[in-house]
Amino acid sequence: MTRISVTVDGASYSDDVEPRMLLVHYLRERLGKTGTVVGCDTSNCGACTVHLGGRSVKSCNVLAVQADGAEITTIEGLAQDGELHPMQAAFHECHALQCGYCTPGMIMQAIDVLNDNPKPSEQEIREGLEGNLCRCTGYHNIVRAVQVASGQEPKAASFEGSSS
């Protein structure tokens, strides 16, 4: 066992973990952060994406011991004082999800994309999200949501009736 100390969604934790334990399993099983989900366990789908030290990572591709000393943000740490994060609000407004399984990772990755490039083109958004798979939406409304969150598309009404 190895002792690690991390800050997750603003709270501090110290735990003994097996050196082989994946960060995603630590978050879900030890801390109860089940908003971060596992889609593949082989670093293909992006469903497990969190922010580690301010950058997005696939948490099934990181050992918990590698996160020792780091600050981690999960989908559960985005809303503040009952207010959705602007990216969460944009996904909601744009109907950018169906089953929702990919959504936590997609939102965490989308925030990272805008942190790098606040006004990305549609192509840059698609490239930034290419490591996150969605089986439901066809990606169209996800891209629109990122455009809304970046202030490049108007909010709300123009998305009414959209279904994909």
Tell me which residues in 61-100 interact with ligand FES (CB under 6 A).
97-100
**30 versus 140: smaller Cβ distance to ligand FES:** 140
Give whole-number Cα distances, 81 to 32, 84, 91, 93, in Å: 20, 8, 19, 20
Q: Does 141 bind ligand FES (CB under 6 A)?
A: no
Do strands 49-52 and 11-17 pair parallel, antiparallel, or not at all (unpaired)?
Answer: unpaired
CA–CA separation, 41 and 38 (whole Å): 6
**Contact flag: residue 128 with ligand FES (CB under 6 A):** no
Given the rule CB under 6 A, which of 1-9, 28-36, 45-53, 153-161 is the region that contacts ligand FES? 45-53
Selected from 65, 84, 89, 136, the binder of ligand FES by CB under 6 A is 136
Q: Cα(61)–Cα(45) distance, rounded to whole angstroms?
A: 11
* 114: contact with ligand FES by CB under 6 A: no
Q: Does 38 bind ligand FES (CB under 6 A)?
A: yes
The size of the interface with ligand FES (CB under 6 A), counted in residues, is 22
Label residue 4 left, alpha or beta by phi (over 0 means left) and psi (-120 to 50 means alpha).
beta
3-state secondary structure of 47: coil
Question: How distant is the alpha carbon of residue 139 from its chain centre?
Answer: 15
Task: Decide if residue 137 touches ligand FES (CB under 6 A).
Answer: yes
Among 4, 60, 111, 114, binds ligand FES (CB under 6 A): 60
Contact 93, 30 (CB under 8 A): no
Q: How many CB atoms lie within 10 A of CB 163?
A: 9
Q: Site for ligand FES (CB under 6 A): which residue of 33, 58, 95, 144? A: 58
Smallest separation (angstroms) from ligand FES to the CB of 88: 14
- Chain residues binding ligand FES by CB under 6 A are 38-41, 43-48, 58, 60, 97-102, 134-137
